[in-house]
C-alpha cells in the first residue's frame, strides 16, 4: 500500500491535502500504527512514505500532525536495523523543513538593519 501511495505522491507532486485534515486523518492514524508495528519492513515503508509526503506537500499540510508523528519517528532512530535508522533521520530532516519553512525570497525574514 505504501508503495502505491509513494507513487501517487510523486505523480501528483503531493495531492494528499484533502486526506490529511487537521482534525483527524485516517491516513496519518494508519501511518502511526505502522510506525509502532514490530514488522521492520512495514516500518521502513511507512517512513519512506512520510519522507516523500513531507517533501512534496506544503508545510501547513502536515504541521498539525507532527505532534503525533514526531515521537514515533524519533523512536525509530533508536531501532536496531540501520535502514530504519537512516530513513528516520531523513524524515527528521524533512520535519525541520515543515516546522521552519524557508521564506519565499532569500533573506525575506532576516533584517540586517538592526533592532
List pLDDT tens digits, range 23-47. Answer: 667 888 999 999 999 999 999 999 9
Distance (Å, whole) CA 115 – CA 109: 14
Distance CA 108, CA 57 (A): 21
Asked, for residue 26, whether it belongs to a domain, the answer is yes
Asked if residue 63 is part of any domain, the answer here is: yes
Query: How many domains does the chain contain in total?
Result: 1
Task: Give the up-direction half-sphere exposure of residue 70: CA atoms within 13 A in the CB hemisphere.
Answer: 13
Alpha carbons 33 and 93: distance in angstroms, whole number = 22
* Structural domain includes residue 17: yes
Which residue segment(s) compose the domain that 23 sits in? Answer: 2-99
Tens of pLDDT, residue by residue over 86-108, are 999 999 999 998 888 776 655 55
Give a yes or no: residue 90 inside a domain.
yes
For the full predicted model, state whether its pTM sits above 0.85: no
pLDDT: is 104 or 60 the higher one? 60
- Domain assignment present for residue 14? The answer is yes
Domain-embedded: residue 107: no
* Contacts of 3 by beta carbon, 8 Å cutoff, 6+ apart: 45
- Whether 25 is covered by a domain: the verdict is yes
CA 28 from chain centre, in angstroms, equals 10
Amino acid at each position: 500500500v505504501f508503495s502505491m501511495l509513494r507513487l501517487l505522491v510523486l505523480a501528483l507532486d503531493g495531492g494528499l491535502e484533502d486526506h490529511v485534515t487537521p482534525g483527524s486523518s485516517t491516513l496519518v492514524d494508519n501511518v502511526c500504527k505502522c510506525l509502532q508495528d514490530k514488522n521492520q519492513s512495514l516500518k521502513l515503508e511507512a517512513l519512506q512514505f512520510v519522507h516523500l509526503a513531507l517533501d512534496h506537500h506544503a508545510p501547513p499540510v502536515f504541521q498539525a500532525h507532527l505532534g503525533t508523528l514526531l515521537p514515533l519517528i524519533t523512536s525509530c532512530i533508536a531501532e536496531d536495523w540501520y535502514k530504519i535508522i537512516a530513513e528516520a533521520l531523513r524524515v527528521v530532516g524533512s520535519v525541520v523543513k515543515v516546522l521552519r519553512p524557508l521564506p519565499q525570497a532569500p533573506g525575506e525574514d532576516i533584517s540586517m538593519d538592526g533592532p
